[in-house]
Amino acid sequence: MPVSLDHLLVVGISSRALFDLEVEETLFQEQGLEAYRQHQLDHEDQVLKLGAGFALVRALLKLNALTHNQRFVEVVIMSRNSSETSMRIFNSIAHYDLDITRAVLSGGAPLSPYLRAFNVSLFLSLHEDDVQAAVDSGVAGALLYQKPENLLEELDQIRIAFDGDAVIFSDESERIFQTQGIEAFERHERENALKPLPEGPFARLLKALSFIQNNFKATNGKPQPIRTALVTARSSPAHERVIRTLRAWDVTIDETFFMGGVAKSDVLAAFKPHMFFDDQPGHCDRASTVVPTGRVPLKLL
């Protein structure tokens, strides 16, 4: 009987997001495919350094070791490499003892058609066109920034931070702010305070994390292995709709910060997430200097 991934949190990650392949990317861009191919074959047994998404992936995979009879997370390598040039990636996975057994090696073809085939809940990449295609197809995707030089120490607890509008929630209210200004935005949120916000691209991921949290709470009573945070530019009076929306979804976020326009980087440095997801380039640029960061592109109409 075929294995089903339907009830797992499936993370699709590009090889360049999992490992540091910037030298190889530069070689490909400057000298072409054949030079890249030969380089990978010549360095097949040389272990790759850690990439921007490595810490998050390793932390999530640890969830599977916390119970004896249930898997929560599956990670699929999704690469435009061919099978011929992929051995270095698999050797590095084995070196770091990552529980990753599935891969898509598209040989240069787009990756987005295979996201649904593997029931991918979250796609992480350093290639913007692949991320945009994922978001346009309805899959949560983020363009990862290079990890900060002063990367924070590894934590046993998985920590993930989210922006609100256009990430957890839809960009409906954000568009009002962008086109009509803060007063129109606040008026709209007051008038719709009792109406739950529509789901954004990362709502499904947040709900999956909440489900996993509840599962651990129900089974062993130990401290939660996952801690989430909402770090949003909203402030009062726009806070009420957010709180009521999360209640309507039956989702609990562990820490919430209504920043009111204050820079998010200091709060993020204190929270120490394995990844922070935001849609605004300015917020991402600042956050990426202190914590691993992924930018969520808007869905193209």
Asked whether the predicted pLDDT for residue 1 surpasses 50, the reply is: no
Per the structure, the count of domains in the chain is 2
Q: Evaluate whether residue 87 is within a structural domain.
A: yes
- On whether both 133 and 163 belong to a single domain, the answer is no
Stated pTM of the model? 0.91
Non-local (6+) Cβ contacts of 200 within 8 A are 165, 166, 167, 168, 169, 170, 171
- Going 146 to 148 to 154 to 158, the CA torsion angle's sign is negative
pLDDT in the model for residue 96: 96
- On whether both 90 and 39 belong to a single domain, the answer is yes
- On whether both 129 and 231 belong to a single domain, the answer is no
pLDDT in the model for residue 275: 96
* Residue where a domain stops, chosen among 96, 113, 144: 144
Residue 48 phi, psi (nearest 5): -80, 150
Average pLDDT estimate for 273-280 = 96
- On whether both 26 and 90 belong to a single domain, the answer is yes
CATH of the domain at 51: 3.40.50.1000
- On whether both 124 and 217 belong to a single domain, the answer is no
pLDDT in the model for residue 3: 61
Asked whether the predicted pLDDT for residue 64 surpasses 70, the reply is: yes
Residue 21 phi, psi (nearest 5): -120, 30
pLDDT in tens, 80-101: 888 888 899 999 999 999 999 9
Question: Active-site residue numbers?
Answer: 163
- Going 98 to 104 to 109 to 111, the CA torsion angle's sign is negative
pLDDT in the model for residue 219: 55
- C-alpha–C-alpha distance, residues 47 and 88, integer Å: 7
- On whether both 130 and 255 belong to a single domain, the answer is no
- On whether both 59 and 130 belong to a single domain, the answer is yes
- On whether both 233 and 273 belong to a single domain, the answer is yes
Range of the domain at 255: 158-295
pLDDT in the model for residue 142: 97
- On whether both 37 and 118 belong to a single domain, the answer is yes
Higher pLDDT, 182 or 248: 248
Q: Evaluate whether residue 150 is within a structural domain.
A: no
Instruction: Indicate the burial class of 286 (C-beta count within 10 angstroms; 0-12, 13-18, 19 or more).
Output: middle
Containing 278, the helix (H) or strand (E) segment is strand 275-278
Q: Evaluate whether residue 153 is within a structural domain.
A: no
Q: Evaluate whether residue 151 is within a structural domain.
A: no
Average pLDDT estimate for 194-208 = 93
pLDDT in the model for residue 264: 94
Q: Is 252 in a helix, a strand, or coil? A: coil
Average pLDDT estimate for 180-184 = 87
pLDDT in the model for residue 153: 60
* Residue where a domain stops, chosen among 83, 111, 144: 144
- On whether both 124 and 203 belong to a single domain, the answer is no
Q: Evaluate whether residue 4 is within a structural domain.
A: no
DSSP letter (8 states) at residue 75 = E
- On whether both 194 and 118 belong to a single domain, the answer is no
* Residue where a domain stops, chosen among 144, 167, 185: 144
- C-alpha–C-alpha distance, residues 97 and 117, integer Å: 26
What order of strands is seen across the sheet that includes strand 226-232?
A: 102-105, 73-79, 9-13, 122-125, 140-144, 293-295, 275-278, 158-162, 226-232, 255-258
pLDDT in the model for residue 223: 73
Task: Give the pair of three-digit tokens for residue 89.
Answer: 């990636």
Q: Evaluate whether residue 178 is within a structural domain.
A: yes
CATH of the domain at 192: 3.40.50
pLDDT in tens, 106-136: 988 889 899 999 999 999 999 999 999 999 9
pLDDT category, 76, cuts 50, 70, 90?
A: very high
